[in-house]
Structure 1
Amino acid sequence: MRLLLIRHGQTPSNLHHLLDTAVPGPGLTDLGERQAAALPEALADEDIEAIYVSTLTRTQRTAAPLAAARGLDVIVRDGIRELSAGALEMLPGDTEQGALYMKTAFAWAAGDTELRMPGGESGAEALARYDAVVAEAVDSGARAVAMVSHGAAIRVWTAARAANVDVPFAAAHPLENTGVVILEGSPADGWKALTWAGAVVAPAGEGGPAGWPVVGDAP
């Protein structure tokens, strides 16, 4: 299956670099609405057969123009919501305490899944809920699925599950709002990242460290 993981459009909390992960969360800024409106054209060449969103308002607002353009209903699933910040909720992400959020999340992707976010979920719990929604999409028989999700969740899940994306790459490459990671595979066969925010991702062992993009734009 071809899997498109799309970060939501800009929110007010993004502007202030806040760890805003609670449900239902804020809507989109004016720029975020424009970013969402641009998705149908940006993804015009993708034969998307299903669109999943999280339980957070911002993903649903982001997906609405794409769903309307494709004549598809969105499928709401809690499993692809943002990694819960727990006790770090609404702290600035650019502070020492805020930095603990991504440090913990990338430790999950590196295999320390029993580690728990302060006051929140463990890596095993976070990855399991995301895995369940991806497995549901694969089992649906759809050939290409878009999931409008969240920046940390997309980066951590991809680093944990894609054979050719490692933690250093995911940590060094934040996704901008409405940035897209495209993968192919299945839970049984494994996943390979094809593009990350438009850059082609090299196969593991080719072109340098796993997950570093090849020079040039994606086809």
Structure 2
Amino acid sequence: MKKIYLIRHGETYYNQLGLVQGSGIDSDLNELGWQQAKAFYQAYKNVAFDKIYTSTLKRTHQTVWDFIVKGTPWQQLAGLNEMGWGHREGRSITPHDDYEYQQILTAWRNGEMHIRPEGGESPLDVLERQKVALQHILENDDENTILICMHGRAMRIFLCLLLDIPLKDMDTFPHSNTCLYMLNYTIDGNFVLELANDTSHLIGIKKEIMLTVERP
């Protein structure tokens, strides 16, 4: 049996400004993001994690850095990287961009998982690399309590993979910076969701800028 603590990275300046990051933007945490990372560490520092997995992007490393420097084994997996958003990455969102984004979301919700943003990845593309990453994680029998830090849209796809839910329903999984999903992997080979989008560890942290529109 495995227990997985799955978190999204802390806030970055791109999050703060409402800019799309994707897998092509290797951004740092901002001041609030570091506070969120510290708050998560304080809440879960006594959990005996056997292994930490992150994407190859530094905003995930930074979010769990206190656990890493404490000596918890850590591995980066490119399969956990954020979805590639192509030409949208790093840009201010124009009305035309927003219209295209809504059209893509509608297509995905209708089950058209092959649809890609221009120059980017489709949910199916992300799912295939996540399957490889998950297989690697599950093969390590000595790792029973695992901390995984990844990204918003990629996390939604990963949760569909873990819980065997159709990708078209991925938007049913809300997320915010350093939110926690907790899952148990049982002996019958199924994941069970124990905790969803939990941010109780962030109580007391003042968020100076609230994004009114959730972005990937």
Q: Assess same fold via TM > 0.5.
A: yes
- TM-score (ref. length: structure 1): 0.75
Q: Judge conservation of contact 2:123–2:167 (CA < 8 Å) in 1.
A: no
Superposition deviation, residue 17 in structure 1? 0.9
SS at match of 1:196: strand
Structure-1 separation of matches of 2:177 and 2:159: 17
SS at match of 1:158: helix
Structure 2 unaligned blocks of 5 or more: 200-216
Amino-acid identity (%): 24
1:153 alignment partner in structure 2: 154
1:171 alignment partner in structure 2: 171
2:134 alignment partner in structure 1: 134
2:125 alignment partner in structure 1: 125
SS at match of 1:87: helix
Structure-2 separation of matches of 1:130 and 1:103: 25
Superposition deviation, residue 98 in structure 1? 3.9
2:209 alignment partner in structure 1: none
Question: Residues 197 and 22 of structure 1: is their aligned pair in 2 closer, same or farther, counting only changes over 3 Å?
Answer: closer
Question: Residues 161 and 138 of structure 1: is their aligned pair in 2 closer, same or farther, counting only changes over 3 Å?
Answer: closer
Query: Relative contact order (C-alpha < 8 Å, sep 6+): which is higher?
Result: 2
Superposition deviation, residue 40 in structure 1? 2.1
Structure-2 separation of matches of 1:94 and 1:173: 26
Question: Residues 11 and 163 of structure 1: is their aligned pair in 2 closer, same or farther, counting only changes over 3 Å?
Answer: same
Structure-1 separation of matches of 2:191 and 2:67: 25
Structure-2 separation of matches of 1:100 and 1:83: 16
Give the paired residue count.
196
Superposition deviation, residue 6 in structure 1? 0.8
Amino acid at match of 2:54: V
Superposition deviation, residue 191 in structure 1? 2.6
Provide Cα deviations, 1:167-207, integer angstroms capped at 9, x if missing partner: 66x53653121111112237x834332211239xxxxxxxx
Structure 1 unaligned blocks of 5 or more: 200-219
Structure-2 separation of matches of 1:64 and 1:42: 14
Q: Judge conservation of contact 2:25–2:90 (CA < 8 Å) in 1.
A: no
Superposition deviation, residue 62 in structure 1? 0.9
Superposition deviation, residue 84 in structure 1? 0.7
Structure-2 separation of matches of 1:165 and 1:195: 20
